């Protein structure tokens, strides 16, 4: 098993370093079951990521259009998710939030 260790300044830096590691050091395999059967994927054996300045904005990487990559999330989604994680505010049909336990 190969360990990949990434030390990044912020979340966008970590994301770009992780993509770079997958492309350059990852291994390719063919999906054997499911709706993507026959497709190829790349992955890393084991990765750890340390972010030295995790609260630095933006939280979502700005991806140049010419790279043809979809952003991992929108800024709005991240803000909503952080609110869900960090507050005790429940949405309809929710029994609890993680923020209740902080």
In the 3-class helix/strand/coil scheme, how is 69-97 assigned residue by residue?
CCCCCCHHHHHHHHHHHHCCCCCCCCCCC
Residue 72 Cα distances to 16, 67, 82, angstroms: 11, 14, 15
| pLDDT tens digits, one per residue of 66-102 | 988 889 999 999 998 888 888 888 888 888 888 888 7
What is the model's pTM?
0.79
Sorting pLDDT into bands at 50, 70 and 90, what band is 12?
A: very high
Higher pLDDT, 52 or 101: 52
How far apart are alpha carbons 54 and 73 in whole angstroms? 16
What are the boundaries of each domain within the chain? Answer: 1-57
């Amino acid at each position: 098993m190969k360990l990949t260790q990434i030390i990044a300044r912020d979340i966008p830096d970590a994301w770009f370093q992780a993509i770079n590691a997958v492309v350059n050091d990852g291994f390719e395999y063919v999906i054997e079951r499911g709706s993507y059967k026959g497709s190829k994927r790349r992955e890393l054996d084991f990765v750890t990521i340390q972010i030295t300045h995790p609260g630095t904005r933006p939280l979502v990487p700005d991806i140049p259009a010419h790279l043809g990559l979809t952003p991992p999330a929108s800024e709005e989604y991240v803000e909503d998710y952080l609110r869900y994680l960090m507050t005790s505010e429940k949405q309809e049909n929710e029994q609890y939030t993680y923020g209740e336990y902080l």
